[in-house]
Amino acid sequence: MFKLPDRYRLRAELALQHLWVLSGDDRYIIKESSRVVQKRFTNISLVVVIIGVVCFISSFAFFEYAFDLPALVEFFLALFIAVVIGNLYVLLLYTITPLIFENRKDQPSDQQKYTLIGAFTIRIFFIVLIATSIAQPIGVLVLSRYTDHPIEEYKNKYLSEALAGSANATAAGDVNVKELTSKMESERRIVSSLLESSNFFVQRVRILASSNAFYWLIVVSIWALFFYPVYEKYNVRNHKRFYLQKKELESQIVTEAYSEFKIHYERIMNERLASYNSTLKHALVPVIQSIETSDRHLAANLYHELFTATEETAFEKFEDWLDPPFRTVRKKDERPIEPQKALLDSLYPSISQPGKS
């Protein structure tokens, strides 16, 4: 069996890894997966490339039929639309990835289920909307010969109705036959010119949608093309090792980043606390020194309180969750709850203990 030289094989593998960016998943995890999983994500990426090409052709056909712009302008506009739709579709693929981290434990399971179903339904709606929009110009481009005759009939009917309406409006006035004929001929040329300059894109779509089964075959095919990557991504769930590996790697990345954040946060808070304590000492020491000349005992107590309050202490970020930074299990407050009388006693001790007032 023929084998590529090593340098070409490495280049091919590198190009394939870059292609996996379009699959809507992490290419570094795909690289460490089995050949079967890599093949599935390769198929997804290739289909996304095909979707981009289809979007370009559809956009070009739309601008050609609807606006009849210069070819170069249509090319760049179609390229821009294809890039935008392609990026939007890849983003949707990233968000359609099955859930790998647990949700919050304090949320009811039914609420979590309905939230996931609602979010997935919105994504599917956007895919259907994009696919249907892309299918219209493709259908008109492929099946335009089936609409040429109905469009000619529509133009003639429209021209006849326009001229009849103009003739009735003109005949109501005091106009002689020669002027009427000249005016009718002028309006006929204007209306004919307008009709010939239009491709009647929307009317062609209406005709195909109402009378041509091949048009709906094209629409369904475009839907299938857009939904194939979604099907493949969910089919990868049968290979559980991929998502377990992804969960381990992403969990490690998030945990390490959060640990670095805590260290940075605590360092900043310690620096600011030390700066505040230093400023406080510089402000209060002269005041205590002025007291020391008259009352050494009071000054000693004030020095002790000041240096005790400003001694260096390690600052640690308080966590309200048992599993930061994933925040799925909240800590329980196990402090005893005192009765209302305890609060009243602490606020009004003279009332609760009148003998000690």
73 in a structural domain: yes
* Pair 288, 321 in one domain: yes
Q: What is the per-residue pLDDT across 86-95, written as a single tens digit (0 to 9) for each? A: 999 998 888 8
**pLDDT over 80 (residue 191):** no
- pLDDT score of 58: 94
Q: What percent of the chain has pLDDT over 90?
A: 19
**pLDDT over 90 (residue 297):** no
Mean pLDDT on 203-214: 88
* Pair 26, 38 in one domain: yes
* Pair 228, 131 in one domain: yes
How far is residue 58's CA from residue 138's CA, in Å, rounded to a whole number? Answer: 5
349 in a structural domain: no
Indicate the average pLDDT of the chain: 80
Nearest to 21 by CA among 51, 42, 7: 42
357 in a structural domain: no
CB atoms near residue 246 (< 10 Å): 20
* Pair 329, 305 in one domain: yes
Nearest to 204 by CA among 61, 336, 16, 98: 61
Of 35-44, 169-178, 262-271, 285-294, the range with the lowest mean pLDDT is 169-178
99, 120 in Cβ contact below 8 A? no
167 in a structural domain: yes
Q: What is the pTM of this model?
A: 0.67
Q: How many domains does the chain have?
A: 3
* Pair 106, 150 in one domain: no
Categorize the per-residue pLDDT at 357 as very low, low, confident or very high, splitting at 50, 70 and 90.
very low
- pLDDT score of 81: 93
98 in a structural domain: yes
- Domain of residue 198, residue span: 144-211
268 in a structural domain: yes
